[in-house]
Structure 1
């Protein structure tokens, strides 16, 4: 059961199998090869949201050195970067508690490449397995303790230095999908 009802969202985005997400951030550009074969629901959902401009203007809201940098919470859209970095609540709620209004089915149990390597792109969720929606994170070093509970859906191909510079409050200017 999803957090927002009994039905989990099924993205309508049609995958080509060659999707690359290009993150334009306040720290620079990151290119991520998306794994549509291993995590088709997560990739289609992410592409659908990115193509609709959902992520444009959001801020990274969680930074844990040597662990993850996390973004994708719509509650950060109307917030100043300084307030996000300070963990203050914004007009739409506390950073890290928002989503797209639906959840998607987990794929960590079926993805043969579900490996939290350095630079892996994965979807955040609550305690419930099928509670991911829009929030994602980049691994800051290998985090294989997450392999059995969180879906990896992409691998960074360019911009590891940018990921290393990201902090809470940094802005996602846009995410463009190529391929």
Structure 2
């Protein structure tokens, strides 16, 4: 007599395992509809902002000029949080040239004193991942103000996705 060989795993089990596997893959590949807050990132952002504020205060103490800049969204405009300038000049935005300020891409003329929320239109769109520099300059947009040791009064910032 011939015996019918029984499958190791019954067909219904195989079907159910396939359905469950597809459901799990679908869940893993789907994006949540509400962004999940990352407390570590929020704490890092607060720490980074505090370091920037401290640097800004130090610049003003040493030179009577300084710039405070947050990371910015992609686009053709940036907003400088705060800039203090000891003489009439500019707040100038430069693109990145191998880790240093490169080409001038936007500026705003300023009188001596404190200025907050200064919007600057840029000559080109900046994209996520780019590093740019906000530089306090003299009446010639390309010549930076410096401290006693010749260090430019600037703050770098990152362009982020909107």
**What TM bracket, shorter-length normalisation?**
under 0.3
TM-score by length of 1: 0.24
TM-score by length of 2: 0.25
Structure scoring higher RCO (CA < 8 A, sep ≥ 6) equals 1
Q: Which has the higher helix share?
A: 2
Please tell me whether Structure 1 or Structure 2 has the larger radius of gyration of its CA atoms: 2
Q: Which has the higher strand share?
A: 2
